[in-house]
Amino acid sequence: MATDQVNGNGSVSEEPMDTTEVTRSEHFPALLEAGLPQNVAEKLDELYVAAADLKRYIVRAGDEVTLSFVNVIHDQDVCESTLWRFYGSRGPSVKLFEDGQIHKAKSDRLRVTENCSLGIKKVTEEDAGVYTCRQFSRSGKQQSPESEVLLNVVTMTEHQVNDEVTLNCSVSTFRDCEHSVKWLLQGRDVDKDHREINTSHPQSSGDATTTGTPAIDEWTSENNKGTGADCKHPEGPAVWWLILVSVGLAALIVTVVTVHIWTRAKGEGS
């Protein structure tokens, strides 16, 4: 389909109409049925679509990650027209890579690959947030859709005071909390597979005993919705307090699992 356009000399030429199909989510009909104006419903639906396309990473603090630029156009020299930007919880957005150069303040931990993906070394909690990437033509026009990546950072610590050991697991993210954090004992869900261990939410707690001090071995991610920790301990009964806490810090959401362990000498109380 085309429209007629009148030129300066009075002649008429045809200009093709933009027939690009706009992707709508399953929520769009409901937005219209709710009585929202068409333009408002379209804007809200664009947010739904963008959220569905958001690429998510869950990385343990101290590790390295490479954030993919999904919409990259492979016709640039050292990605000179690529812009990487970071949106975190502390202050305004920050440009990380522009005009073929990495920002000086981040140059020791960042790198850009041949396909313009962003690599981050020694990830920290402060790296949690949204990363966006765009490519521009020489005239300054954006060439491809913006890529958006959400980086979640898992931090695990172990702290001991006398006979009390506290294991802490937290997930830092930029947007609404969508992670459930749980502890795994030797790769198995303690809630379902270990009768000797009681778990609780912030409002309550369970107790038991252990003959040794557990150590954090590894963590796993399930369907990008959860993280866990594999805590191994010597043979013998175990008593833990598992406390699940959700802590909101402005836009930064931290989900915390804390485990308190009391160690006893063998034969105590017998």
Q: What is the pLDDT of residue 220?
A: 36
Neighbours of 208 (CB within 10 A): 16
**Nearest by Cα to 268 from 196, 163, 190:** 163
pLDDT in tens, 52-94: 556 788 888 999 999 988 777 666 566 888 889 998 877 788 8
Same domain, 258 and 166: yes
pLDDT at 108: 87
Residue pLDDT, tens place only, 7-30 = 445 544 444 444 445 567 666 788
Of 97, 130, 152, the residue at which a domain comes to its end is: 152
Both 136 and 172 in one domain: the answer is no
- Does pTM top 0.75 for this prediction? no
In this structure, the dihedral spanned by the alpha carbons of residues 266, 163, 239 and 227, taken in order and rounded to 10 degrees, is: -130
Q: Is residue 3 part of a domain?
A: no
In terms of Cα–Cα distance, which of 177, 183, 194, 182 is closest to 237? 194
State whether 103 and 124 are in the same domain: yes
Query: 221 and 134, same structural domain?
Result: no
Quick check: is 216 in a domain?
Answer: yes
Residues 106 and 173 in one domain: no
Residue 119 has what pLDDT? 94
Q: What is the pLDDT of residue 122?
A: 93
Residues 142 and 173 in one domain: no
Q: Could you tell me if 145 and 207 lie in one domain?
A: no
The DSSP annotation for 48-81 comes to HHHHHH-EEEEEETT--EEE--TT--S--STTTT
Determine the pLDDT at residue 79.
82
pLDDT given for residue 207 in this prediction: 25
- Choosing from 94, 122, 152, the residue where a domain stops is 152
Token pair in block for residue 97 = 């890579």
pLDDT reported for residue 38: 83
Q: How far apart are CA 214 and CA 159, in angstroms?
A: 11
Give domain status of residue 2, yes or no. no
Residues 6 or more apart whose Cβ sits within 8 Å of residue 93:
85, 86, 87
Residue 266 carries which DSSP code? Answer: T
Q: Is residue 62 part of a domain?
A: yes
Report d(CA 125, CA 163) in Å as an integer.
29
| Residue given tokens 């979640």 in the structure block | 152
Kindly state whether residues 148 and 194 are assigned to the same domain.
Answer: no
Please give the residue range of the domain that contains residue 126. 56-152
How many domains are contained in the chain?
2
Report how far residue 212's alpha carbon sits from residue 223's, in angstroms, rounded to the nearest whole number.
32
Q: What is the CATH number of the domain that holds 127?
A: 2.60.40.10
**Looking at the domain assignment, is residue 20 inside a domain?**
no
pLDDT of residue 192: 59
Are 131 and 219 part of one and the same domain? no
pLDDT at 148: 85
User: Which residue, 103, 127, 152, sits at the end of a domain?
Assistant: 152
- Residue 181 has a pLDDT of 65
10 domain residue, yes or no: no
First vs last C-alpha separation in the chain: 89
226 domain-assigned: yes
pLDDT along the chain (270 residues), means of 10: 47 44 68 81 66 74 89 68 85 85 83 89 91 80 77 80 68 65 65 52 28 36 34 30 29 45 44
128 domain-assigned: yes
